Amino acid sequence: MNKNRTTGLAVVAALSVALLSGCEAPSLDKLLTSGDQQTQPANGASAEGSENTTPSSQQEEPGKPKPPSLQETLTMVEGVPTVTNPTELSVVVNKQRALPADYIPPDLVEPNVPFPFDEKVEKRFMRAEAAKALEELFAGAKQDGIELYAVSGYRSYKTQRSLYETYVKTQGAEHAAAYSAVPGKSEHQTGLAMDVSGVDATTRLEEPFGETPEGQWLSAHCGEYGFIIRYLKGKEETTGYSYEPWHLRYVGKEMAQEIMAKGITLEDYLSENGSAQKQ
């Protein structure tokens, strides 16, 4: 087991113990003092980029089974529709589909990419495969003259609850419902999502980011690295959320390229391609 995976598991284990005991989770500063949490740069790349930026994520296997349908991956838990496949890349979490209440991703690591802050906090983390793909995406953008920053990745149930309550108090329930998820129903808790920005802080986590060179590059190229723009313009009824050109979600290259080429949502893709529809 490599150092990144070991340290990532240690973070998760410590958080899990704290949650189960009812105690306050230890700070990430303390958890990270025992080692470097960053993944190794993809293809020898540094956080600033690399000459070799060909995505190296796992190639899709010929004849690979179709992902399960939306109906196949949902069950009721204490009256809450809850996903049964939280660790799968195709997991769909939205306003109608919650994660298990105690879910913590099993392999959180810190991608070796630039962040606009120095604090060692949980939002730096992603699942290992997604983190490596993000490094490759940033390196590819750098080669094309695009500078990106990772803003917010993994978000625990507790953090999402605090964030949502803050949105409600400061901007009202309607705004909170459009732009934020209730605890347990945030993609950030899967460890597969990362909010991204460019150098212009005025468009950070704002719709105009989609019109910037950085936003346009992401829309054109994110699928090559296994990511999708999760919340598309004009798809609010399907996703339940307003347009977010900064919100990247990792699903793997084959699925991402088809979703982005068709301009559809993850929900649309699984409705068309899920295994239940192919039987």
Burial class from Cβ neighbours inside 10 Å (0-12, 13-18, 19+) for residue 33 reads exposed
- Describe the crossing of helices 128-143 and 213-221 by its angle, rounded to 10 degrees: 120
Nearest residue to 204 (alpha-carbon basis) of 244, 233, 172, 177 = 244
Cβ of 275: how many Cβ atoms within 10 Å?
13
Q: Which of 207, 244, 254, 267 is catalytic?
A: 244
Instruction: Tell me how far apart the alpha carbons of residues 57 and 225 are, in angstroms, rounded to a whole number.
Output: 8
Nearest residue to 90 (alpha-carbon basis) of 249, 243, 277 = 249
Instruction: Tell me how far apart the alpha carbons of residues 95 and 240 are, in angstroms, rounded to a whole number.
Output: 7
E strand or H helix that includes residue 82: strand 80-83
Is residue 244 among the annotated active site residues? yes
| Vertex 173: Cα angle to 168 and 178 (nearest 5) | 105
252 Rama class: left (phi>0) / alpha (psi -120 to 50) / beta? left
Is residue 197 within 8 Å of residue 138, measured between CB atoms?
no
The dihedral built from the CA positions of residue 249, 96, 88 and 29, taken in this order, carries a sign that is positive
Catalytically annotated residues: 244
